[in-house]
Amino acid sequence: MSDINARCVVTGLGMINAIGKNVEECWENALKGTPGIDKTRSVNSDDCYAHLGAEVKDSDIEMNDKVDRVSMLCLQASKEALNDAGISNANVDAARFGVIMGSCVGGVVSIENYIEKGEKTEDINKMTIASIANHVANMAGAKGVVTNIGNACAASTMSVAYACELIRAGVGDVFIAGGADAFASVPFAGFTALHALSENPCSPFNHSNGITLGEGAGAIIVESYEHAIKRGAKIYCDVLSAGISSDAHHITAPRPDGIGQMYAIRRALDKSGVDKKDLDYINAHGTGTAKNDEAEFLSIHTIFDDANDHLSVSSTKAMVGHCLGAAGAIEAVYAIRALTDNKVPPTIGYTDEDLEALKEKAGKIDFMPNAMKEKEMNYVMSNSFAFGGSNASIIFAKNEGKMSETENNEDIYITGMGIVSPIGNGIENYIEKVKNGETIASNNLSSELGKEDFDKYDIKLAFYRKLDKLSTMQVVSGIEAINNAGFTFNDENAEDFGMIIGTGDGPLTTVYEFQDHISKEGTQNGSAFNFPNTVYNAAGGYLSIKTGMRGYNVTITNGSQSGLSSICYAANEIRQDRTKAMLASGTDENSAVMNKLYTQLGFVKDAKSDIYGNGNSMNLSDGSVTIALESASQAASHSAKKYAKVAGYAQTHEGVEYGTVAGSDEGLANAIKEACADAGITVDKIDAVFGFGNGVNEVDTLEKNVYSKVFGKEIAVINVKDYVGEARAAAATLSAAHAALTLAGELGDSQDAYFIAGGNVRKDKVDTKNFEYIIATSYGVGGSYSAVVLQK
């Protein structure tokens, strides 16, 4: 049952960072002000101007050569949190148990190993962020919503927020939420190139002359209050509301006026029902760069100066460094312990002289220099701000809060779309190609964007030359969807429009090339120009900068199905009234790098492959597809065209070894059944499936078997990969877009389809005239599935 103001509580904590291998050690050392910063041991900084890092001691990590270091860290913190919460298979329904993890650089250590240590196949599946939540879900036996958030340094604050949103949406009881990042050459070289590393230990709100990178993981068991009470769990605190926003300003720097940050902080306060006079402590983003600290000083002073006489603010980054995608989760754990122990951790590194300077900057706010203090607390906040202009703020409360979230129970419609694909760009072009029955010609396909596209959407050279291909495709498909839907926003209502970007492999090409360059030229020679594009949310960040969209902005990544789960996530944001209208995208890039990696994995062969044809190779491809979603009244307010109604959706996980799908049949079957149930229909109402088979036998066979079993009769399956190839997340979103065009009658009266029954396939035309319901499905390796039911 959905209950927008349902209590979400924290019942378990896990953490590892430079000052401890578990929560207790990390907490005690933070209170004592123990610095975890030393000369880096894992990155060659010999020719760099800065050499410091806050690395986890190898002796503190449970080593596991099957996974990247980032997953080792994440697994360790997650196990601690599960044990702390007393969660086991016996006291949680696996289908209502999920994992949401955040990361910035993911398995980038494995990219370095691959390049420098003989290009081993086993390193390939460790490279992306996607694998992290899969490993944790498999360890924990979670079969609910499993995904990762890729919003750089705000990622794991968002993962905790999303877990609560899912509990309040009624789709889960328990989530492991948090995030991880490992110390690595790519971020070290990137921040070196940007001159953003401090030569001395970082000094947030003090010297503010740069960051010190760290590493670690934080894991939080978020649980519905009823579930926690029923199983007699110990409760740390309540999680109230979060504010998430986008600066729409710059890809690396925060807005100097703090508008985006302040929106996130104020929204968290408002919807949590917390008066700003009552907030007791903020674990600040506090990176120690001049730009961050100035903007955050401004935001905090502007909101709290005249209203709050007892606010404490500290940055635990002074001890544990900037743990990037893990920062939000680590700092949330610190904020929760501060709240429950009534002790505020300090910001270390102030000299007597610094203390004098601080007095002038601090006003009534206690910035906690050098020493912890004890004080009774009821409400604490954790802030995270990231590359791409991504802001997140979340509130934890000692007791039950007075949440004031509202719901929007109207129907949700697809009112616009944008398509970038190897068969051309734009909706009109796509409709024409499909009607003409044009199918793809090769096994290596790539979307093309040029001056014509940029001129059409008024994208200037000074803007587009900054973007890698992933971001360029995203910006173009996003703007087309905005125009097609007729979204209009301005400075007054820009926060009411948001986006969820789904990507399977993210900017893997850019990250690989960045690593390849520094492997050859040295850590001191990273490219300042390319580094901003190594974060997964750069694409969504650029789209917000270009369009001025300042609302909810999250990038999710867990395989191809990210392009459908972005629709599930976006629709949930509208249902939970966080935004008036949303974009949901799927974007993935093909390149020489991607082709090389997929070929080495054995998925790309010389010849063009056949879908459902018992072959064993895919036609690797790319693209970006964005759909616009809005509620009925919002659509009516500007007379938007309704392509189709989003009637229901579901996300599931049936864990198998990462990189494979065989054995995860139940995951797909459950996604279909749950999405139909969410739409209020039985599966026999489904007129056709938009499937995901790609020519790889393991994938195609699973799909054929599941449809045969679930539908129990011959079912028509249309597959967009016949037109655009294995464009991964882009193909997943295109399935929904193509299905919506079909229901809107834009594609004529019949289409090519596969008819599947009893595990067998025949090809024929399907009459689409009387279609009422279509279900779009997609998969992620490791066993994650999404399904979306669209209605005429």
Partner 1 sequence: MNEKELAIAARIKEMLSENLRIPAEELDYEIPLFGDGIGLDSVDSLEIIACIDSEYGVAMTGVAKENFYNITSLTKYVVENM
**Residues carrying an active site annotation:** 153, 285, 322
Q: Are 468 and 510 in contact (CB under 8 A)?
A: yes
What value does the CA radius of gyration of the chain take, rounded to a whole number of Å?
A: 24
Q: Which two tokens stand for residue 303?
A: 């909101």
Q: Which two tokens stand for residue 358?
A: 């601080």
Residue 139 binds partner 1, judged by CB under 8 A: no
Distance CA 548, CA 409 (A): 27
State the number of binding residues for partner 1 (CB under 8 A). Answer: 15
| DSSP string for 344-365 | EPPB----HHHHHHHHHHHTT-
> Closest approach of Cβ 450 to partner 1, in Å?
11
3-class SS at 304? helix
Q: Which residues pair with 715 in a beta bridge?
A: 756
List C-alpha distances in Å: 259 to 51, 303, 329, 464: 34, 11, 24, 25
Only one of the segments 62-70, 79-87, 330-338, 461-469 lies at the binding site for partner 1 (rule: CB under 8 A); that segment is 461-469
Q: Which two tokens stand for residue 502?
A: 């789904």
- Phi then psi for residue 14, to 5 deg, are -145, 145
Near partner 1 by CB under 8 A: residue from 142, 193, 470, 696:
193
- Phi then psi for residue 323, to 5 deg, are -90, 20
Q: Which residues pair with 646 in a beta bridge?
A: 412, 790
Only one of the segments 22-30, 339-347, 460-468, 654-662 lies at the binding site for partner 1 (rule: CB under 8 A); that segment is 460-468
> Closest approach of Cβ 208 to partner 1, in Å?
17
Near partner 1 by CB under 8 A: residue from 194, 371, 744, 757:
194
Residue 443: which of 607, 223, 634, 205 has the closest Cα? 607
Please say which residue, 168 or 249, places its beta carbon nearer to partner 1.
Answer: 249
Distance CA 231, CA 407 (A): 29
Residue 1 binds partner 1, judged by CB under 8 A: no
Binding mask 293-322 for partner 1 (x = CB under 8 A): ------------------------------
> Closest approach of Cβ 465 to partner 1, in Å?
4
Distance CA 468, CA 464 (A): 8
Only one of the segments 192-200, 299-307, 628-636, 649-657 lies at the binding site for partner 1 (rule: CB under 8 A); that segment is 192-200
Q: Name residue, tokens 């994208």.
A: 459
- Phi then psi for residue 110, to 5 deg, are -70, -30
Only one of the segments 188-196, 201-209, 683-691, 717-725 lies at the binding site for partner 1 (rule: CB under 8 A); that segment is 188-196
Please say which residue, 79 or 466, places its beta carbon nearer to partner 1.
Answer: 466
Q: Which two tokens stand for residue 30?
A: 């933070």
Please say which residue, 400 or 521, places its beta carbon nearer to partner 1.
Answer: 521
Near partner 1 by CB under 8 A: residue from 529, 682, 764, 765:
529
Q: Which two tokens stand for residue 613?
A: 């044809």
**Identity of residue 784:** S
Please say which residue, 12 or 388, places its beta carbon nearer to partner 1.
Answer: 388
Q: Which residues pair with 497 in a beta bridge?
A: 581
Only one of the segments 190-198, 324-332, 382-390, 402-410 lies at the binding site for partner 1 (rule: CB under 8 A); that segment is 190-198
Near partner 1 by CB under 8 A: residue from 156, 252, 314, 619:
252
Residue 532 binds partner 1, judged by CB under 8 A: yes
3-class SS at 288? coil
Residue 525 binds partner 1, judged by CB under 8 A: yes
Residue 209 binds partner 1, judged by CB under 8 A: no
> Closest approach of Cβ 528 to partner 1, in Å?
4
Alpha-carbon torsion (536, 539, 545, 550), positive or negative? negative
Residue 520 binds partner 1, judged by CB under 8 A: no
Near partner 1 by CB under 8 A: residue from 1, 63, 90, 461:
461
Please say which residue, 225 or 463, places its beta carbon nearer to partner 1.
Answer: 463
3-class SS at 759? coil
Residue 527 binds partner 1, judged by CB under 8 A: yes
Contacts with partner 1 by CB under 8 A lie at 193-195, 252, 460-463, 465-466, 525, 527-529, 532
